Chain A
Amino acid sequence: MPDLSDPSDLPDPETSGTESRSVGATIELEGLTKRYPGSALPAVDNVNLDFRSGETVILVGPSGCGKSTLLKMINRLIEPTGGRIRIGGEDVTDMDPVRLRRKIGYAIQASGLFPHMTVAQNIALVPRMLRWPTSRVRARVEEMLDLVGLDPGEFHGRYPRQLSGGQQQRVGVARALAADPPVLLMDEPFGAVDPITRDHLQDELIRLQRELHKTIVFVTHDFDEAIKIGDRIAVLRERSHIAQFDTPEAILTNPADDFVSGFVGAGAALKRLNLTRVRDVEITDYPTVTVDDPLQHIFDRLRSSGFNEILLLDKRGRPYKWLRRGDMTLAKGSLARAGTLVHDTVTRDATLRDALEAVLTDNTGRVAVTGRRGAYEGVVDVETLMNSVHELLEADRLEAMDAQHDLEEQRSAQTHAEQEGFGGEEKA
């Protein structure tokens, strides 16, 4: 049974803004098939998938596996030749496609903005088609620009060609979300931008989704992108057969078969680090002093702390310098000359991968963790990271085994029931 809009998944009602925001809707694909005339094998073969309300599902697979075809069947840009599509419980397989598409956001590669319309006109398209009053459309355009991080005053009247690739893509997303659809389909939306911009856009999308809780179906061939964005990932093989449909963690630690592990690629453990944040691991507390402390106090701390070094914080409590025992003597008691500057810190929201990177580049193997406004919160070092990773992988493995076990039990129970039922019928 599909998990229909688990209320615990839903956010607190959005209080900001004047618009009432619709959250996601479930999507159920049942036996969805696309057969092109003249080809023996269907392009998409009997796909059954259930997407929960408010989750981000990634369809990932090699090129030609039919993932885009599958996506385009959801808003019926490609008409399925078999099967049913239900959105929010409503069967939309035979609905007027134009009306259906106005309720589904659609963002594509290279933004798909209309070059002859301004940014505002592009965003206003769907609300206008839905005959929103002009004032509401205008307010909505500003709101959407704001939402995707573009200054309405500056970008409102620009034409798409006056924007960078990343900005175009943001506007593309704003247009897709303008009429507040419960479902957002994204077809390799970040495929045509440079890696740095892509990274930013992915972060933005995650942030947006945390705010909006739409049901997002996102197609990509980049597995790293899938892991980063997805709540669940459907790995597709040829003809959209589902190789595995699970959380990123489960796919990384327990790929269903060789095809999936081949697709996950090398370094699954490293990729796993992307899924855990610094806030989830134990951080050590280091002895600290501040620049305002009297020198004598600093000396005492150095001597009495039991650590080889202590962290010197600046006036606002931000990590400033690492002080070793000998440093103060060498610098003849001058704080300005003593110690080594802290050149890298990580926030609590940073991934373990970022933390590992910082730890590895630091010559003593530790990095300061900061909280609000860069204030010191603790330290992560190599040992902590290693232990956490081991624990994580172990936990994942146990969970995967449990899941496997449950599945097998379920299957055997099902088979059993079927046999029983069959026998019963015969008797009757």
Chain B
Amino acid sequence: MNFWEYLGSRHQQLLIDAYQHASVVFQCMVVATLLGVLIGVVTYRSEWAGNLATTATATLLTIPALAMIGLLIPVVGLGVPPTVIALTLYGLLPIVRNAIVGLRGVDPSLVDAAKGIGMSRAARLARVELPLAWPPILTGIRVSTQMLMGIAAIAAYASGPGLGNLIFRGIASLGSKNALNQVLAGTLGIIVLALLFDAAYVLIGRLTIPRGIRA
């Protein structure tokens, strides 16, 4: 059975896996974005808090994905929970770092102007600082998503959802007639998903970054 025949015969299963893969990455990204921006907002104004947040999330990223999921299994069990927790934690670093850099990069004279015309702390953040820091934050989200696409494959190790299952099955049965096709289908599926997400981010950028600050 060649690759195309394999795809033709298994497309239903493949689509389900791809959908689950995309879904878990998307959901984890939503959580990571909210958490990451929140951490950024809370810490950016203090030198040490910002650095602590960046270093902590960077340290998380150095833990091998397999080890992280392995360590989470005894705590939260198999399946979706370890996958979601691991992916969210991995997704934090680029978002937190870019949020901090972006918020710190807002021209202080603009913050001064916002204060001077009578904007409250919350209004300043919501209407001036975050919108101006949004392009770098969006870049962070994009990088995070690309990263999570690959890492999510490892979730299959903890019986999680997604295209990783194909890869793991293929590797486990190397030598059998469909092993290579499985690995190939899983990998290519992830690449295609990553490209689709990236295209979506370009579109989101177009829609959400005001014309006045678009590069």
Contacts and interface: CB of A to CB of B under 8 A. Distances in A.
Contacts of B131: 116
A99 B110 CA distance: 19
B30 to A, nearest CB: 23
Nearest to B123: A129
Interface in A71-111: 72, 75, 77, 98-104, 106, 108-110
A126 B212 contact: no
A176 to B, nearest CB: 7
Interface in B105-122: 109-110, 112-120
Contacts of A260: none
Contacts, number: 65
A108 B213 contact: no
Interface residues of A, number: 30
A349 B198 CA distance: 63
A159 B212 contact: yes
Contacts of A101: 115-118
A161 interface: yes
Contact of B118 (A72, A99, A118, A161): A99
Q: Number of contact residues on B: which range applies?
A: 10 to 19
A161 B116 CA distance: 21
A109 B108 CA distance: 12
B109 A108 contact: yes
B210 interface: yes
Interface centre among A108, A113, A118 (most CB of B within 10 A): A108
A160 B212 contact: yes
A364 B134 CA distance: 65
A115 B112 contact: no
Contacts of B118: 98-104, 126, 129
A307 interface: no
B116 A115 contact: no
A125 interface: yes
Nearest to A126: B117
Interface in B188-215: 210-213
Interface of B: 109-110, 112-120, 123, 128, 131-132, 210-213
Closest 10 CB pairs of A and B: A112-B113, A159-B212, A102-B118, A101-B118, A106-B116, A116-B210, A116-B213, A115-B212, A116-B131, A98-B120
26 contacts: A77-B112, A77-B115, A77-B116, A98-B118, A98-B119, A100-B118, A101-B115, A101-B116, A101-B117, A103-B118, A104-B118, A108-B109, A112-B110, A112-B112, A113-B113, A114-B113, A114-B128, A116-B131, A117-B212, A118-B212, A125-B117, A125-B119, A126-B118, A159-B211, A175-B117, A176-B117
